[in-house]
Amino acid sequence: MEQQMATGAVWRLAGWSGAAARGTGATIGSLCPMDGALLAEVEVADAAQIAAAEALAASAFSVWQLVPAPTRGRLVAAIGQQARARKQALAAVITLEVGKTVSEAEGEVQEWIDMCDFAVGLSRQLHGLTIVSERPQHRMMEQWHPLGPVAVITAFNFPMAVFAWNAMLALVCGDSVVWKPSEKAPLCAAAVMELVAEVCLREGAPAGLCQCLFGGASVGEALAASPVYRLVSATGSTAMGRRVAAVVGARLGRSLLELGGNNAMIVAPSARQELALRAALFSAVGTAGQRCTTLRRLLVQETIAEGFIARLTEAYQSLRVGDPREPSTLVGPLIDEAACAAMERALVEAVSQGGRLLAGGERVRAGSLGGGFYMQPALVEISADAPVVQRETFAPILYLHRYSSFEEAVALQNGVSQGLSSALFSESLSETEHFLAQSGSDCGIANVNLGTSGAEIGGAFGGEKDTGGGRESGSDAWKSYMRRTTNTVNYGTTLPLSQGVRFEME
Ligand code: NAD
């Protein structure tokens, strides 16, 4: 493997190029959320490295785009095989750096593996349409061609899977990739890149096919500004997405945005309450409330609210928060001190806006050194129009509201600026169909009788409004990573014009 991690600054994959330049010396520390210990330091990419990565990505693309798609699929198949072989080790890095429980961390690596399988299948199915022509003896068709180098900017909370959603598809589509992982999860990125680099070298992929630059917002923004990247796929907060959209839009580039959510679940009177309770709990506190699809608002119909809320409160009081490596732990740490402080601030705000704290909200001393960023998940009953409810606090706070009519519940659910995931628990056919119809949920994901989180890779993933409108992973999300051409062929001997236009020389 000729992978260069010169001074830890730039990981270049499948490196047939020279040694990476030294960075400026600025570093980012990777902290373990279990105890706050410094795990590693990585060097921030400087302007020269950013430019070198760009040039290498362009030259890799010029080669890779001409490789037949099924052959490109073989590279992704080999990546998937390695990820399968190293699943537990990769998951351990996620647990160490991001604090996910072992089961959730292994689930994340499985998502990467699943994406490889999906992308390999796709590599033989990058189909276009044929279209009937209005002109005689003409044929129309669409073709999908590789797009170009793709920049991928990712959030901390899915430090491997979101890279895979993008990169595995981009690679089979014939694109090169430059990844800027979250500054809060560089070690996960290093583990991913080591594996990808090894496979790329072994399989003879062009140098620079998949690269990684460490850094924060300024490195991300440099990628967004560069016209070399034909697509900038960015996952993170809505504030970040607005900025990336503006920078990419200014150069008329293409962006794919996967931003914040403020997801709701409706529990109707006919709901199977046992299922609804379990789904609400997992969706609200799984990954310590740090999923974009985390359940943030629970709407319970008033006739069942008293009993349902009492049972949920009881469940919250017995949630096991602690070391994510312990099999009995259900809730691990938050990512850092800032996340704990943001949760505390939101709770103070909620109470000041009339909220009633029913459970949780306090710090938990669970780290091996007595440190760590542990919080007891909080349950707050509050008015649906309280300002704090309108925004995404990336922590385990679940806001409870009571509703009267189904129409009111749908309106409350849709009444926030984000539009990622939504769920309804109901046994009423009329309610479930209305929920899925145009007049129902306005989100990118609408589930019936399951929670808001835990999507499969086979579907297109993403949301509307402030969530950014992007779709990644399954279904036809691959189309974002390719360019479409419409071809018309005239196999006749005359030149008829469309729309009946006449243009005859006398
Ligand atoms: P964040 O917005 O702080 O950072 C995300 C990434 O964007 C990081 O790599 C960061 O360095 C980069 N970045 C920040 N400012 C930038 C700029 N101006 N230009 C370019 N890049 C920039 O988000 P986070 O705290 O890492 O993650 C949590 C957020 O991500 C939540 O809002 C969550 O809902 C969202 N998220 C969304 C999805 C989705 O698919 N919709 C998935 C995961 C996370």
What is the reported pLDDT for 369?
Answer: 56
472 and 383 co-located in one domain: no
Contact 150, 481 (CB under 8 A): yes
Residue 12 belongs to a domain: no
253 and 276 co-located in one domain: no
Sheet of 445-448: strands edge to edge? 356-359, 378-381, 397-403, 295-301, 263-267, 421-425, 445-448
Number of compact structural domains in the chain? 2
Instruction: Confirm or reject: Cβ of 419 under 6 Å from ligand 1.
Output: no
112 and 172 co-located in one domain: yes
Closest residue by Cα to atom 19, ligand 1, is 221
348 and 397 co-located in one domain: yes
Our mutation pick for probing the ligand 1 site, out of 100, 235, 244, counting the most ligand atoms within 8 A of Cβ, is 235
Residue 317 belongs to a domain: yes
The pLDDT of residue 286 is above 50: yes
Q: Which two tokens stand for residue 445?
A: 């994901």
CB neighbourhood size of 400 (10 A): 22
Supply the CATH number for residue 216's domain: 3.40.605.10
306 and 230 co-located in one domain: no
pLDDT tens-digit map of 79-116: 999 999 999 999 999 999 999 999 999 999 999 999 99
339 and 482 co-located in one domain: no
The pLDDT of residue 6 is above 50: no
Contact 276, 267 (CB under 8 A): yes
365 and 305 co-located in one domain: yes
Supply the CATH number for residue 339's domain: 3.40.309.10
Instruction: Confirm or reject: Cβ of 216 under 6 Å from ligand 1.
Output: yes
What is the reported pLDDT for 262?
Answer: 98
- The rounded mean pLDDT for the chain is 94
Å from CA of 186 to ligand 1 middle: 14
124 and 169 co-located in one domain: yes
Please name the residue that has the structure tokens 């169909």.
433
Active site residues: 258, 292
Residue 162 belongs to a domain: yes
* Strand 295-301 relative to strand 263-267, pairing: parallel
The pLDDT of residue 38 is above 50: yes
What is the reported pLDDT for 504?
Answer: 87
- The candidate with the shortest Cα–Cα distance to 469, out of 413, 417, 420, is 420
345 and 233 co-located in one domain: no
The pLDDT of residue 1 is above 80: no
Please name the residue that has the structure tokens 């990808």.
196
Residue 361 belongs to a domain: yes
The pLDDT of residue 256 is above 60: yes
- The candidate with the shortest Cα–Cα distance to 257, out of 159, 174, 151, is 151
The pLDDT of residue 13 is above 70: no
Residue 185 belongs to a domain: yes
Instruction: Confirm or reject: Cβ of 8 under 6 Å from ligand 1.
Output: no
The pLDDT of residue 454 is above 60: yes
Closest-lying ligand 1 atom to the alpha carbon of residue 239 = 2
Residues ≥6 apart with Cβ < 8 Å to 118: 168, 457, 458, 473, 474
Å from CA of 496 to ligand 1 middle: 52
Domain that holds residue 278: 263-457
- The candidate with the shortest Cα–Cα distance to 335, out of 94, 132, 136, 144, is 94
> What is the pLDDT averaged over residues 141-164?
98
Å from CA of 181 to ligand 1 middle: 10
Residue 304 belongs to a domain: yes
Residues ≥6 apart with Cβ < 8 Å to 278: none
pLDDT tens-digit map of 303-348: 999 999 999 999 999 999 999 999 999 999 999 999 999 999 999 9
Q: Which two tokens stand for residue 245?
A: 């959209």
pLDDT tens-digit map of 224-247: 999 999 999 999 999 999 999 999
283 and 140 co-located in one domain: no
Residue 446 belongs to a domain: yes
104 and 117 co-located in one domain: yes
Residue 75 belongs to a domain: yes
pLDDT tens-digit map of 175-222: 999 999 999 999 999 999 999 999 999 999 999 999 999 999 999 999
Distance CA 91, CA 89 (A): 5
333 and 204 co-located in one domain: no
> What is the pLDDT averaged over residues 424-451?
98
